[in-house]
């Protein structure tokens, strides 16, 4: 890291899923056909681990249980390299779409797979597609009951696929004492609106300077750490093109894939990075003690 100016260390996060599992691709690659597509996540995940090692950065890897079943050695590599292993659920389904019963089964299954595979405790969870918010009031309690201490699932922006623009921008507790600590992806507040500053497609589509400026604004003006995210498939410009994809999805998914690795390398060297459980250790310590996983009665679906 080249900058040591007293700014907060930021949290680097990785959503570990493969190119055909992106929610926007669901109409073109149904879940029951995932097994027909060749896995490429291991190679791009290894490249991400190399970039982190090169920069002295540590990260939190929100990993699908489906991936852990098929790539156990890659999951073990994450933990062995000193990164935090966290859950992205099992089957990459929107939380509100599957409802409380299926959600509970999904998070228990994923957490158990990840912990058994890597031999580490899994404290964190990120909903597929940032699909938690006011429409899933039952989710925080079920996460807590499963043994999760925190979530990074509520993105306080407006977006056509996700977002809760009225949600707090900084760490806060969801669901009271029975919930989890929510650590949202980074946003900047401009002109009375929250703007995304956490990476993903915005990191590829906008100029690099826009992302760096937004993160530095959060660090310097607000004195806070930022949560940034990326996917392994974004470092894989050679991935197969899924046929029949609409123009909007093609632009969002494929544009500037060849530039992502260089941009990420630069960002990792220019700003300080750590794993969520370390960067937000004080906020996590201030919460309730972890509860043992339990089979709580299911609430009514909203």
Predicted confidence (pLDDT) at residue 120 exceeds the cutoff of 80: yes
Q: What is the pLDDT of residues 35-62, one digit of tens each?
A: 999 999 999 999 999 999 999 999 999 9
Kindly list the domain boundaries of the chain, sorted by start residue. 10-285
Nearest to 132 by CA among 62, 221, 203, 222: 62
**Residue 259 near residue 204 (C-beta atoms within 8 A):** yes
**Residue 32 near residue 66 (C-beta atoms within 8 A):** no
Q: How far apart are CA 11 and CA 280, in angstroms?
A: 8
The band of 2, judged by pLDDT with boundaries at 50, 70 and 90, is: very low
Q: How far apart are CA 53 and CA 34, in angstroms?
A: 31
Q: Which residue has the tokens 């156990």?
A: 72
Q: What is the pLDDT of residues 145-167, one digit of tens each?
A: 999 999 999 999 887 667 688 89
Q: If you average pLDDT over residues 213-231, what whole number do you get?
A: 96
Of the two residues 295 and 172, the one the predictor is more confident about is 172
Predicted confidence (pLDDT) at residue 213 exceeds the cutoff of 80: yes
Direct distance between the N- and C-terminal alpha carbons of the chain, in angstroms, rounded to an integer: 46
**Residue 225 near residue 188 (C-beta atoms within 8 A):** no
Q: What is the pLDDT of residues 170-207, one digit of tens each?
A: 999 998 766 799 999 999 999 999 999 999 889 999 99
Record the tokens describing residue 102, joined without a space: 């299926």
- pTM: predicted TM-score of the whole model, two decimal places: 0.92
CATH code for the structural domain at 10-285: 3.20.20.370
**Residue 181 near residue 146 (C-beta atoms within 8 A):** no
């Amino acid at each position: 890291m080249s900058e040591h100016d007293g700014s907060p260390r930021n949290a680097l996060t990785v959503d570990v899923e493969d190119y055909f599992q992106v929610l926007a691709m669901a109409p073109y690659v149904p879940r029951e056909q995932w097994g027909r597509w060749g896995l490429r996540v291991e190679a791009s995940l290894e490249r991400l681990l190399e970039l982190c090692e090169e920069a002295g950065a540590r990260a939190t890897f929100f990993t699908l249980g489906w991936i852990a079943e098929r790539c156990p050695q890659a999951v073990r590599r994450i933990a062995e390299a000193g990164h935090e292993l966290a859950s992205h659920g099992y089957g990459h389904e929107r939380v509100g779409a599957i409802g409380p019963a299926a959600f509970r089964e999904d998070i228990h299954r994923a957490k158990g797979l990840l912990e058994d595979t890597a031999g580490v405790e899994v404290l964190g969870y990120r909903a597929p597609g940032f699909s938690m918010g006011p429409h899933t009031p039952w989710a925080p309690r079920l996460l807590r009951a499963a043994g999760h201490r925190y979530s990074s699932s509520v993105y306080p922006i407006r977006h056509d696929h996700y977002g809760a623009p009225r949600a707090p921008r900084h760490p806060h507790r969801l669901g009271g004492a029975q919930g989890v600590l929510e650590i949202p992806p980074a946003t900047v507040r401009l002109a009375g609106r929250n703007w995304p500053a956490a990476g993903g497609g915005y990191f590829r589509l906008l100029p690099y300077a826009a992302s760096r400026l937004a993160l530095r604004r959060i660090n310097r003006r607000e004195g806070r750490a930022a949560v940034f995210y990326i996917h392994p498939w974004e470092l894989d410009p050679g991935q197969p093109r899924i046929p029949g994809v609409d123009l909007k999805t093609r632009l969002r998914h494929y544009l500037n894939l060849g530039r992502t690795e260089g941009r990420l390398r630069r960002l990792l060297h220019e700003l300080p990075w750590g794993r969520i459980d370390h960067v937000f250790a004080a906020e996590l310590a201030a919460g309730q003690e972890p509860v043992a996983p339990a089979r709580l009665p299911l609430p009514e679906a909203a």
